[in-house]
Amino acid sequence: MNLAGGAAYTLRPATSFLWRTTTADGIMYPLDRRADRRSFRPVHLDHNPQPHQDAKDMATTLRHSRILGVGAYLPPRVVTNDDMCTYMDTSDEWITKRSGIKERRWVELDVTTSDMSMWAAEEALKNAGVSKEELDMIVLATNSPDHENPATSCFLQRKMGIKNIPCWDVRQGCCAFVFGLSMADNYIRTGMCNKILLIGADLFSKSMEAFDHIREMAVLFADGAGAVVLGACDGEVGFEDPHVFSTHLHTDGEGAQELWCKAPGQCYPGPRISHEAIDRLEHLPQMNGSAVFLHAVQRMPEAVHEALDHNNLKPSDIDLFIFHQANLRINEMVTKVLGVPLERVHHTIQKFGNTTAATIPLGLWDAVQAGKLEPGMLVAIAAFGSGFAWASSILRW
């Protein structure tokens, strides 16, 4: 599914052009001042107009979003692979060889997902030069809710002292941030919002008393949060201007039980959580590691190619790839399949582990800190995770 489908470039990427839309049918035509117009083909917009808008309104209100600022929260507590050996029967060699991870961050026990989200959000707002009063919406991508109900974004909103704007959680595994990016981008494109705070945050370490039962997962997953502020672009947007080009989302529920957590849930004939379910360890996440691995190495390159094709780009046009950080081996295979030089892929897994919904914004943030991501660069993002879900995006930073 191609969301925010307007940016299907039909020209060489180096060519700068503007977007122009027809008024009646919602078809978008790219317009280049310099190039031969006969080379353009119309691109059908495949998003769903809001109920109060007809196609004509959509054509006149459609615009683009861009990332205005990025922030992160990484717990100060560093947990090395040797430290992990004190919680379970494992070794630095096993973890490094299979995942590339050397260390990860864990929160102190009184820290929650909404706390980490707030700290990342505050930095993103500061870097974006946006005040919290300017926000129109908060989207929190997380799989580690503070409570089962209501959404963790409600607790985040309260902690940040923000009132009367919609907020919601996106719970789509390791793809949650890219799904959230797609939602935020489309709310801005359709003119319903001007500025949106989007956070990816996950917290895994609090299951540590049970780590010996889930060794495979315990060494991979970690805690952290990253946030971006998205804002509407001013005026017409050209290929060279910073903006989100497109987002592409997929889900295949056939894989739902390959990486999942059964309890608590309404699937039980009795109470949604019981001592018996806990005794059967159904409250702990479960993973079929090899199934996840096999699907990830197939779906991630597919997702990247989908985004590139949609925008008439080649892998060599991309300045920086930010992949979901599940496993260094997965990402090395994806990089090889795409034929991309290693220096154009930014990894954080060695030092942060797999922070689930936070890996993509943390990757953006860390690449900025490392001087690898600079204004004007073309960025490709791809993720794969539970669901199974996979997603990609291309944006100009």
Ligand X SMILES: CC(C)(COP(=O)(O)OP(=O)(O)OC[C@H]1O[C@@H](n2cnc3c(N)ncnc32)[C@H](O)[C@@H]1OP(=O)(O)O)[C@@H](O)C(=O)NCCC(=O)NCCS
Q: Shortest CA distance to 1 belongs to which of 54, 67, 46?
A: 46
Q: What's the CA gap between 16 and 13, in Å, rounded?
A: 8
Q: What's the CA gap between 28 and 244, in Å, rounded?
A: 16
Distances in Å between the Cα of 307 and the Cα atoms of 4, 254, 297, 381, 391 are 11, 23, 16, 9, 9
Name the segment binding ligand X (CB under 6 A); options: 57-65, 145-153, 197-205, 285-293. Answer: 285-293
Give the CA angle between residues 342, 351, 395 to the nearest 5°.
50
Unique residue bearing structure tokens 């909103």: 157
Q: Residues 289, 332, 337, 344: which binds ligand X (CB under 6 A)?
A: 289
Q: Residues 56, 77, 98, 171: which binds ligand X (CB under 6 A)?
A: 98
**Minimum distance between the CB of residue 96 and ligand X, rounded to whole angstroms?**
11
- Decide if 288 is catalytic: no
Catalytic residue among 154, 167, 174, 175: 174
Pick the closer one to ligand X by CB: 68 or 95: 95
Catalytic residue among 324, 327, 346, 347: 324
* Interaction of residue 79 with ligand X, rule CB under 6 A: no
* Residues contacting ligand X: total by CB under 6 A: 20
Pick the closer one to ligand X by CB: 118 or 304: 304
- Decide if 154 is catalytic: no
Looking at beta carbons, which pairs linking 56-60 to residues 24 or more positions away fall under 8 Å?
A: 56/23, 56/24, 56/26, 58/26, 58/190, 59/21, 59/22, 59/23, 59/24, 59/25, 59/26, 59/28, 60/21, 60/23
**Minimum distance between the CB of residue 350 and ligand X, rounded to whole angstroms?**
14
Measured in degrees and rounded to the nearest 5, phi and psi for residue 196 equal -130, 135
**Residue with smallest beta-carbon separation from ligand X:** 289
Task: Give 188's contacts (C-beta < 8 A, 6+ positions apart).
Answer: 63, 64, 65, 194, 196, 230, 231, 232
Q: Residues 303, 326, 364, 389: which binds ligand X (CB under 6 A)?
A: 326
- Decide if 354 is catalytic: yes
Pick the closer one to ligand X by CB: 43 or 79: 79
* Interaction of residue 358 with ligand X, rule CB under 6 A: no
Q: Residues 86, 164, 266, 290: which binds ligand X (CB under 6 A)?
A: 290
Which residues from 192-251 bind ligand X, rule CB under 6 A? 215-216, 219-220
Pick the closer one to ligand X by CB: 36 or 93: 93
Distances in Å between the Cα of 329 and the Cα atoms of 89, 296, 350 are 22, 11, 11
The residues annotated with a catalytic role in the active site are 174, 324, 354
Binding residues for ligand X (CB under 6 A): 90, 94, 98-99, 174, 215-216, 219-220, 287, 289-290, 292-293, 296, 326-327, 330, 354, 385
